[in-house]
Amino acid sequence: MNMYQPSFPQNRVKRLLLALKASLGRGTGASLTFDEWGEMVDRPGNTLSSWCADGEAHQIQVLLASLERLPKPDRHRMVDDACRLHATLRHRRLAHDFVAVSELAALLRQATGFTAIHGAPGHMPEFLLTALGHSFQESGGAVAGLDFQRPNGFVPVAGVSYLCGPVTHQEASRRVHQAWPDVRSTRAGLILLSGVWSVAPELRPEIVELGRRAHVVVANLAVLPTKLQLPPPVHLITVSPARERPGRIRVGVQAL
C-alpha cells in the first residue's frame, strides 16, 4: 500500500514568495528584480528565482507547516517577535514629530552635501542613520556605506557593508580600508558612514570629497571639521530622548 506523507504544498510557497517580491517592489514604486531582492536578504538572486519558479524550499515549507498549526494570534506574535526592527522615517520613534520628519525627508531629496548626526544615547544616532537609509531606498534611491553596528536587532540597509564590531582599532582600520574602494567608487546617491570617521581619520578628505557627488551622512560626529571644506549643503542633526514621549526620539536639524 502506497502511503502519502503530506508536506506543505509547494504552490503555496511559490504564491507567498511572489507576493512578498511584489510587495517589496511596491515600496520602491518599481518592479523588484531577483538580484535586488537577493541584495536585501543576502542570498543569490538565482536562488530566489528558483524558489519562486517551483516553490521547492524545504526550510520554508517546514516553517509554514509548523506555523499553520498555531492559533492565529500566536502565529502572528511569533513572526512579529522574530522580525528585526525596521527603521524608517515612518517609525513611531520618529513619526511623532511631523516637523522633524518633514525636515529629514527634505534632506533625503538633496543630491549632494554633508550631514552629521550626533546625540545620546548612542543607539539613537544609529537608529536615525538606518531610518534615513531605508527611507531613501523606498523612494527608489541607491545606498552605499560602512557601519560597525552588528545588525542582529534591526533590518540592515541594502548596499551598506556591516563591519561588525567591536574589534581592535587596528582590525577596525584594516576592515575599513579593505571595504573602502567599493564605497569610493559607488554611484549611490546616499552614503552612510558609522564609525569610519574616528577609525580611519586618514580617509576624512576622501569622505568629504564624496559629498561633492553624493549625499554623505556620518553618524556620531558632534564636531564638524574646520580644516576641511565641507561640500554644501551642510547640516548637523541632533538626537535626544523625547522626555514627554517615552521611547520616542527628539530630532533637531540645523543648516550650517
What does the alpha-carbon distance between residue 242 and residue 239 come to, in Å, rounded to a whole number? 9
The predicted-structure confidence for 190-244, as pLDDT tens digits, reads as follows 999 999 999 999 999 999 999 999 999 999 888 888 888 999 999 999 999 998 8
Q: What is the CATH number of the domain that holds 178?
A: 3.40.50
Q: Which residues contact 10 (CB under 8 A, 6 or more apart)?
A: 54, 55, 56, 61
- What's the N-to-C CA distance of the chain in angstroms? 80
Residue 6, pLDDT score: 63
Same domain, 75 and 97: no
| Structural domain boundaries, residue 64 | 10-82
Residue 227 has a pLDDT of 82
Question: Using one digit for the tens of pLDDT, what is the confidence trace for 72-117?
Answer: 999 999 999 999 999 999 999 999 999 999 999 999 999 999 999 9
Count how many domains the chain has: 2
Cα separation, 256 vs 252, in Å, equals 13
In a shared domain, residues 113 and 233: yes
251 falls within a domain: yes
Are the beta carbons of 119 and 104 closer than 8 angstroms? no
Residue positions counted in the chain: 256
Together in a domain, 73 and 152: no
> Is the model's pLDDT at 61 over the cut of 60?
yes
Can you give the pLDDT at residue 149? 86
Same domain, 195 and 173: yes
Are residues 223 and 145 both part of a single domain? yes
**pLDDT of the residue at 57:** 86
Write out the three cell numbers for 235: 547640516
Q: What angle do CA 101, 106, 109 make, to 5 degrees?
A: 135
Domain boundary among 62, 82, 102: 82
Q: Which of 213, 214, 180, 182 is nearest to 197 (CA)?
A: 180
Instruction: Outline where DSSP puts E strands in the chain.
Output: 113-119, 143-147, 160-162, 190-194, 215-219, 234-241, 249-255
User: Pick from 82, 102, 118: which residue ends a domain?
Assistant: 82
What pLDDT is stored for residue 179 in this prediction?
96
Could you tell me if 236 and 123 lie in one domain? Answer: yes
Q: Residue-wise over 204-231: b if at least 16 C-beta within 10 A, else e? A: beebbebbeebbbbbbbbeeebeeeebb
* 14 occurs within a structural domain: yes
* Calpha distance 22→4 (Å, rounded): 34
Within 8 A by CB and 6+ apart from 69, the residues are none
The DSSP string of 210-229 is HTTTSEEEEES--S--SSS-
Is residue 3 a part of any domain in this protein?
A: no
- Residue-wise pLDDT for 24-59, tens only, equals 887 666 788 999 899 888 899 999 999 999 888 889
- For residue 88, the SS3 value is coil
Residues 78 and 97 in one domain: no
153 and 206 in a single domain? The answer is yes
* 125 and 162 inside one domain: yes
- For residue 12, the model assigns a pLDDT of 93
The reply to whether 23 falls in a domain is yes
Instruction: Please indicate, yes or no, whether residues 117 and 161 belong to a single structural domain of this protein.
Output: yes
At residue 200, what are phi and psi to the nearest 5 degrees?
Answer: -130, 70
